[in-house]
Amino acid sequence: MSLPIAAAPTHLSPAEYLAWERKTTFKNEYLNGAILAMSGASEAHNLITMNISTGLYNQLIERECRVYAGAMRVGIDAAGSYLYPDVVVVYGKPRFEDDVFDTLLNPAVVVEVLSPSTEARDRGEKFAQYRQLASLQEYILVSQETVHVEHYLRQGPQWLLTEFRHIEAVLPIVSAECELPLQHIYRLVEFPDNPENQ
């Protein structure tokens, strides 16, 4: 996710946040009662997000699936949180919080592209929030610093982690019965010289 730059100085309830957020000109996440303004993303972040969303869209175009990239807010009722994943996939009819149709409630796949300032939050607080969504089947974390993808697959009450660290690897999107080669995920992304990226 894009870099958080500051928390709002005043506390808002979830309902107050949503009303305020709809009037702002920039994105803000609402996590555990804190408002986090989101800044712009790096070139690598943008490339990875577009590569993943395009790859998923092309494979799911004949099915009743929707792929959203970057700007679809996800609401988590049980936690009273609102987050902006980098890529979201919905199977079947999307459910929204209200008739504004800008806050999704039933994502099946969520992808977050990591950055140094958001990695801990994406792995910790945000994953804990997303896990409360009964619809969520897969949570995917993608590094923009090195070739590294972490795939969490729901299996009953547990989440099975599989890691991919080689550019020749292929990431399965199990619930969608499709896959994304890491060569496609990282297309045109330039890394610092690092043996791990070879």
pLDDT in tens, 34-87: 887 777 678 999 999 999 999 999 999 999 999 999 889 999 987 788 999 999
Three-state SS at 99: coil
- Which amino acid is present at 22? R
Element housing 142 (H / E): strand 138-143
pLDDT recorded at residue 42: 85
Mean pLDDT, residues 153-166 taken together: 96
H or E element in which residue 182 lies = helix 182-185
Count the residues in the chain.
198
Sign for the CA dihedral angle at 166, 170, 171, 174 comes to: negative
pTM of the model: 0.86
Q: How many CA atoms lie within 13 A of 105 on its CB side?
A: 12
What's residue 115's pLDDT?
Answer: 85
The C-alpha angle with vertex 171 and arms to 166 and 177, in degrees rounded to 5, equals 160
How many Å is the maximal CA-CA distance in the chain?
50
Cα–Cα–Cα angle for 81, 84, 88, rounded to 5 degrees? 115
Quick one: which of 22, 19, 36, 16 has its CA closest to 129? 36
- Which of the 8 DSSP states describes residue 50? H
23: Cα within 13 Å, side-chain hemisphere: 4
Percent of the chain at pLDDT above 70? 91
Q: Around Cβ 63, how many Cβ atoms within 10 Å?
A: 12
| 1/147: higher pLDDT | 147
How confident is residue 14, by pLDDT bands cut at 50, 70 and 90?
confident
